[in-house]
Amino acid sequence: MLDALTVALGAAALALAAWCGFAALRDQPTKDWHFIGMGVVTLLALAQLVVGVVELARGGKPDEGTVIFVAYLVGAFAAVPAAGLLSLSERTKWGSVTVAAGALVLAVLEVRLYDIWGTPGA
Amino acid sequence: MPDTTTAAPGGRKRLVSGPGLLLVWLYGVMVVGALSRSAYQISTEFDRAPLAYSLSGAAALVYAFITYSLVRGGETARRAALFCCAAELAGVLAVGTWTLVRPEAFPDATVWSDFGMGYLFIPVILPITGMLWLRAKR
């Protein structure tokens, strides 16, 4: 469940990065549709945070430690909304570039989360 | 502090606009990354690699100060951020070289190990773009 969410979030983050990067290439700021996309990615990240905490409560042990695992879950949840809020104050293509960078950061965090959680039962 | 010659009427010179926004975002990410990493490592396993973890902590403080200066804006903050970017670049180059020449001094990696390779080389790219941006805002 958690691994599936991690992979899905990584893919969604890359898609969001490409989408906002495309908007930046066309010299456009982030628009309503982009914010809906950010909302979807943020909801996925929230689901991942909840599932991750539930897994911990059920006795799951992340390979690299609980503190690091939770820190990365929170960071992954915060990355895209933070970049989205910044882009609200910058109504040029640079707002789109920033959201694209935020989504790339999320994708990197997902790769790390995959390692941190490790293989279940191993 | 009298800053009327350079500041726009009614406020300090904005440093967070256009490319500056991306810069602030990346610095913010580095603050969170370096600060949480060094806080965790210093509090749990400081004895394993005191030098590496102290350097990560110092890097986090530099990043935090630059982020604050960029957000604050104004000529004084611009100069302070410019100075810190130069110090940051010197730090990345010095620590990056140090970790390659004397790897045995570093049982664990720092934020600036191998010129920031673990962070997609952002630590070495960021101060250079930062200095270019801050010079352009003069």
Start-to-end CA distance of chain A, whole Å, equals: 16
Chain B contact set for A68 (CB, 8 A): 40
What's the mean pLDDT when you consider all of chain B?
A: 89
- Cβ–Cβ contacts within 10 Å for residue A120, how many? 12
Q: What is the mean pLDDT of residues A4-8?
A: 95
pTM for this structure? 0.91
Q: How far apart are CA A44 and CA A5, in angstroms?
A: 8
Per DSSP, A30 falls in state: -
Q: Which residues of chain B have pLDDT under 70?
A: 1-10
Give the tens place of pLDDT for each residue, A26-83: 999 999 999 999 999 999 999 999 999 999 999 999 999 999 999 999 999 999 999 9
| Of residues A82, A94, A101, nearest to B18 (C-beta) | A94
CA dihedral A18→A22→A24→A27, nearest 10 degrees, is -170
| Nearest chain B CA: its distance from A121 CA (Å) | 26
Which among A8, A70, A69, A73 is positioned nearest to A41, based on CA atoms?
A8
Alpha helices in chain A (DSSP H): 2-25, 32-57, 66-88, 93-117
CA distance A13 to B120: 17
Tell me B14's DSSP state. Answer: P
Query: Which residues does B contribute to its contact with A (CB < 8 Å)?
Result: 16-22, 24-26, 28-29, 32, 36, 40, 44, 120
Yes or no: say if A56 and A66 are a contact pair by the CB < 8 Å rule.
yes
CA–CA separation, B46 and B39 (whole Å): 10
Neighbouring C-alpha atoms within 13 Å toward the C-beta of B64: 11
- Confidence bin at A120 (pLDDT 50/70/90): low
Enumerate the residues of chain A whose CB falls inside 8 A of the CB of residue B20.
Answer: 94
CA nearest to B30 within chain A: A105
Q: What is the pLDDT of residue A122?
A: 44
Q: Which domains does chain A have, with CATH numbers?
A: 2-117 (1.20.120)
Work out the widest C-alpha separation in chain B, in whole angstroms: 55
Q: What pLDDT score does A94 carry?
A: 96
Looking at residue B59, what is its pLDDT? 94
> Interhelix angle for B19-45 vs B50-72, to 10°?
150
User: Residues in chain A whose beta carbon is closer than 8 A to a beta carbon of chain B?
Assistant: 67-68, 71, 75, 79, 82-83, 86-87, 89-90, 92, 94-95, 97-98, 101-102, 105, 108
Domains of chain B, residue spans: 19-42+49-136
| Chain A contact probe: residue of B21, B30, B41, B70 with most A CBs at under 10 A | B21
